[in-house]
Each structure stands twice: as C-alpha cells, then as structure tokens.
Structure 1
Amino acid sequence: MPPGGGGPMKDCEYSQISTHSSSPMESPHKKKKIAARRKWEVFPGRNKFFCNGRIMMARQTGVFYLTLILILVTSGLFFAFDCRYLAEKITPAIPVVGGILFFFVMGTLLRTSFSDPGVLPRATPDEAADLERQIDIANGTSSGGYRPPPRTKEVVINGQTVKLKYCFTCKIFRPPRASHCSLCDNCVEQFDHHCPWVGNCVGKRNYRFFYMFILSLSFLTVFIFAFVITHVIHRSQQKGFLDALKDSPASVLEAVICFFSVWSIIGLSGFHTYLISSNQTTNEDIKGSWSNKRGKENYNPYSYGNIFTNCCVALCGPISPSLIDRRGYVQPDTPQPAAPSNGITMYGATQSQSDMPLAFSASKELRPPECATRS
C-alpha cells in the first residue's frame, strides 16, 4: 500500500466499523432516537392523546361527539332561526346572553374532556417488586407461589378509619377516595365517575369543570327552550299557530330536543350540587361509604361541616398539578418515577406496611392534616 493511500482507506474502514458493529459506539445514536419519544406514546392506560400529549381523553369518544353535535345543532338552529326575530321584536339582549352561555358551555365541556382527571402514576417494576417483597414479609409469606388475599391498609383521617386498597394493575396502594377506572385502566385520584358524555373520567382535576358544564348546560337548555316557545307564541298571535310553525320549522326541532333533555340535565345538576355541598363523590354516594347504616359513628371525614366551605373548596380551591408527565421524554436507561419530582409524594409504592406514614399530598385538601396509619 502506498503511504499516501493508507489514510483514506483506514478512515473508511473505521467508519464502517463504527456504524455497523454492535459496540457501544452506536448506542448514543439509538438512545437519542429512543429518548425522543414522549411519555404519552408509551402510556400504559387506555387513553387517546392529541396535540403531542396536550389533550388526554378516553378511547371511547363516540358519545362525546354526540354531545358536541346536540349542543352545536340546537344552539346553531336557535341563533340562526330564532335570535334574529327575538332581537327585533323583544330585545337584542337575548342573543348576547345566549352567546355567553353557549361559549361557557363549550369551554367547560372541552376543559373537562381534554384534561387529565387526576390519573395516578403506576409503580415502576423495581418499585412494584420492592412493595411486593415488603408485603410478603409483613404477611409472613415467602416469595413462593402463595398469593396473599387482597391487601388493604387503614389510615385515620379526621378521626374516621379509611381503608386503602392495593391496585394489582397499578401496583400501588390507592390514596383515599381514589379508584381504578375499568374503562380507562387508570387509578384516578378522588374518582367521581367515568362519563361517556364528556369522553373522560371525572376526578380531582376536572370535577369543577364538569360541574360548571352541566350547570351552565342546564341554564342554556332552559334558556333556549323558553325563548323558542316565546318565539312560536309571538308568531302565532300574528299568523296563527300552524302558520307560525311553518315559518320556523327549526323551532319545533329545538323544542323537542330541549324538552326531552332538560329534565335529565337539571336532575344531574341538582344531584352534583348536593354532592358538592356535602363534599362527596358519586362513587362514595353510590357505595354508601358514609351512610349511617354502616355504623352509628360513620361520618364523612372530608366534609368541612359547612355547605359554603365545601362548595368553595370544590369550586374555588387550587387545582393540583398533574402527576403524569405526559409530554416528558422517556429515559430508556433510568426507571421512570411514579410521580414527578416536584415535591409530590407517591402513595405508598415503596413504603413498608408497618412504618408507612403515607405522606399524603392529598392531605392538603383535608381540614386538619391528622393522618395516622394502622398496620
């Protein structure tokens, strides 16, 4: 080989070795590709994400689109066929008030549907294995094939004993008021219910928006129904009832939709008003968690004892940050933490059963932070 030609050949051979060999020289390139994946792309729950993880919904969204269609069609017909006549004959404030109600309804609906309801992060494999080992030791069992019965912990909140259940899917002890949604396959903090009409779970982080949605929808439905009837009566006084219906056939469709939906919407609003005033969730009310039938001393430890305070906490209190970093990057070589490292403590995923103080981040929502555990 001539001296002048050895350099390029060696460079070429070195580049081939560095790009085709299985040595660690190629790992930074692959790691860079893997690290570019967002956490929402590998999220274990049954959810759909849009806008690069900014929007989070359940997978079953068909009923949600039906909700959108009903609201948009009914409101659109009202603004197109009724508001112009009502503004001219009665007052121009009618379309203004209707527009404000419509945009408020749509805003709260989308805020409820597109947000994280309070999903609790699952334990990492290392944390789950450590917790399983600690539970086996606490139950006096070895790591054999015997599986202990469903695991629970007891905590005392404001003098009331509350049981924490172990989630075999998420591998964590669920905090108080949390439950696992079978449709979304997630543990949700302060779980209320899964609502197909909004296409999402309703929990700690979006309950106030859900309540404001159904309450404002009640006002909008009553508003449209009342002024559609006013429109028809006003026209019938001039031309007769049948001629009035012929002049505005859309009013008939609006009246029918509003009439059959207003009762369920108002009833739902009243039910959730009762829940907010007593600081309960739908899940707790259905199960009768704080019913007096369970015991003489059974009471709701989360209630502040005052309807006004309960409503203020539910509707005006601070919104807790999301515990799942949907838009964060996946780190392939580092186990993913069960909660973001911003001072929020994971609920009992790596703490033993005997000395687990359960440093609740949820205790901020309780009146006195008196929380003790019983092994």
Structure 2
Amino acid sequence: MVLWTYATVVLTDPGGVPLNWRPLREEEKGDADPLVGLGYGIAKIGTNQSAVPGDFKNLDIGFCLKCNRLKPPRAHHCSICNRCILKMDHHCGWVANCVGALNYKSFLLFLFYTSLAAILVCLALLRVFMEIFNDDEVDLTPGKLAATFIAFVSVLGFLIMHITLVGANRTTIEFQAKDKKTGLTWRYDLGWKKNYEQVFGTEKKLWLIPVYSKDDIRRMPALQGFEYPTRPNWDPQH
C-alpha cells in the first residue's frame, strides 16, 4: 500500500487550471453533461468567451497575475511547476510533485501507510534495542535506532497535522494565511464529517485506497477541484 499510494501521488496530476477557464453561470450548468471534460459540469474547458473577475466576485474566483487568467476557488500558483494548481496544498519535494485536489487523498494515504510501516519497524526493533545494552555483538547502534524513531515521529506528526487540516477543510496554504478574525467561520468548513467526505468521498469502504467511486466523481465537484460548497449563511465579517 505504501508503494501504491506513493506511485499515485507521484504520477497523478494534482490538477491544473485549463486555458481560458471560467466558471459556469447558473443558466449554463443545466446544459452541461456532468461527465464531459475535466469540469464535470462545473467549468467549460477551452471556451473562448472572456470573463471579468468582477463578474464572479461572490464565487471566490481569483485572478493569477503570473498566468494572467482566472483561477478557481482555492487554486494557487506554484512557482516550481509554473502553473496554478487546483486546491493546492504544497509542493512536495519527496514526491517531486505538487499536492493538490486530484492527488491529496493519495498523499494522505501515503502518510498513513508509511506511519503504519514505521510503527511495525519500531516494534520489530524493540527487542534489538533492548539487546544493544546487553550484547556488544549486536550490529546496530543507538544512533540508527534514533534515526528510525525520529523519521517515524516526523511522518506521524505530518499525518496528524494533515488529518487536523482535513477536519477543518483547510489546505496548508489556507491554514498559514488564515485570518484570525475569520478563523472560526471558514467559508468551506461544513463540519468534520462533510469535510472528510470532500477529500475521501462518501463511500467509506474506499477511504483507505486511492480511488473514488464513479458516483462520487459525478456528484461531488470538490473532488475535481473547480467548485466547493460553502457554509450556509457564511459571513466574512464574523
């Protein structure tokens, strides 16, 4: 599972903003086939119709000065990939890829299974650790054990941090940039259950593998990274 999830994170495109992307207006959504293109009924791909940022001021639509185009909610420009990434969390050097909307679940599962593997390694080394102090012939130094333990704690801490972020429906970028004034009324915080479904899907039997059900992909736009449900009656002033 460690290798599977790692390969998925590395090989999966985190999600880029298509050229000339713009959000669909309400009257256009009814005509869109939910299974056509990357937008799944959320955005038209390859449209040449121009749009002004002011038209979508209530939709949390941004404008990237580096790409010189509109970007969906929660998308950010990655200076390493040199493009805007959908629901960008961070650029990870360990996987040589950005972590975004389309591979975030795989990234979390990679951390989870790596932590489990590290726990098993630590348990297997406990007996050896005890023998170090009684047997000079044991070919393992306390330094090697300490390095294993530090690696385990680091991965586990990273996993706990991201589990907390998922529960609040925030990315690492959003957490670092959050305004204390609006920290308790984050517009995308739908409650911990729905927040987890935004990342893992509604099919709980698939939560521990890096795939989604076809039904979830069809009816959950957040899994594609272009549009996200918000809190009812959300007010940025409170």
What TM-score do you get using the length of structure 1 for normalisation?
A: 0.45
Q: Secondary structure at the match of 1:156?
A: helix
Q: Secondary structure at the match of 2:58?
A: strand
State the AA in 2 paired with 1:301: R
CA distance in 2, matches of 1:176, 1:153: 14
- Considering fraction of residues, name the structure with more helix: 1
Instruction: List gaps (5 residues or longer) in structure 2.
Output: 22-45, 203-211, 215-223, 234-238
CA distance in 2, matches of 1:152, 1:312: 31
Show the counterpart of 2:168: 278
CA distance in 1, matches of 2:186, 2:93: 28
Q: Secondary structure at the match of 1:187?
A: strand
Contact persistence 1:121–1:170 (CA under 8 A):
no
Matches within 5 A, 1:1-375: 104-123=1-20, 131=50, 155-156=57-58, 162=60, 164-233=61-130, 240-243=134-137, 245-246=138-139, 249=140, 255-288=145-178, 291-294=179-182, 299-305=185-191, 307-317=192-202, 318=212, 362-363=226-227, 365-366=228-229
Instruction: Note the C-alpha offset of 1:106.
Output: 1.4
Name the Cα RMSD after superposition.
3.6
Mark the structure with the bigger radius of gyration: 1
Contact persistence 2:129–2:145 (CA under 8 A):
no
Instruction: List gaps (5 residues or longer) in structure 1.
Output: 1-103, 136-150, 321-359, 371-375
**Structure number with higher relative contact order (C-alpha < 8 Å, ≥ 6 residues apart):** 1
Instruction: Note the C-alpha offset of 1:215.
Output: 1.7
**CA 1:302–1:253: 2 relative to 1, 3 Å:** same
CA distance in 2, matches of 1:236, 1:266: 26
CA distance in 2, matches of 1:361, 1:311: 15
What TM-score do you get using the length of structure 2 for normalisation?
A: 0.67
Instruction: Note the C-alpha offset of 1:222.
Output: 2.2
State the AA in 2 paired with 1:312: E
Q: Secondary structure at the match of 2:185?
A: coil
CA distance in 1, matches of 2:124, 2:96: 30
Contact persistence 2:17–2:84 (CA under 8 A):
yes
Contact persistence 1:122–1:171 (CA under 8 A):
no
Instruction: Note the C-alpha offset of 1:218.
Output: 1.5
CA distance in 1, matches of 2:158, 2:106: 14
Instruction: Note the C-alpha offset of 1:231.
Output: 3.4
State the AA in 2 paired with 1:156: N
Q: Deviations over 1:176-199 (max 9, x none)?
A: 001111100111111111111111
Contact persistence 1:218–1:262 (CA under 8 A):
yes
CA distance in 2, matches of 1:313, 1:121: 22
Instruction: Note the C-alpha offset of 1:211.
Output: 0.6
Instruction: Note the C-alpha offset of 1:294.
Output: 4.8
Instruction: Note the C-alpha offset of 1:236.
Output: 6.1
State the AA in 2 paired with 1:257: A
Contact persistence 1:215–1:269 (CA under 8 A):
yes
Instruction: Note the C-alpha offset of 1:174.
Output: 0.7
State the AA in 2 paired with 1:167: C
Instruction: Note the C-alpha offset of 1:257.
Output: 3.1
CA distance in 2, matches of 1:184, 1:319: 29
**CA 1:153–1:269: 2 relative to 1, 3 Å:** farther
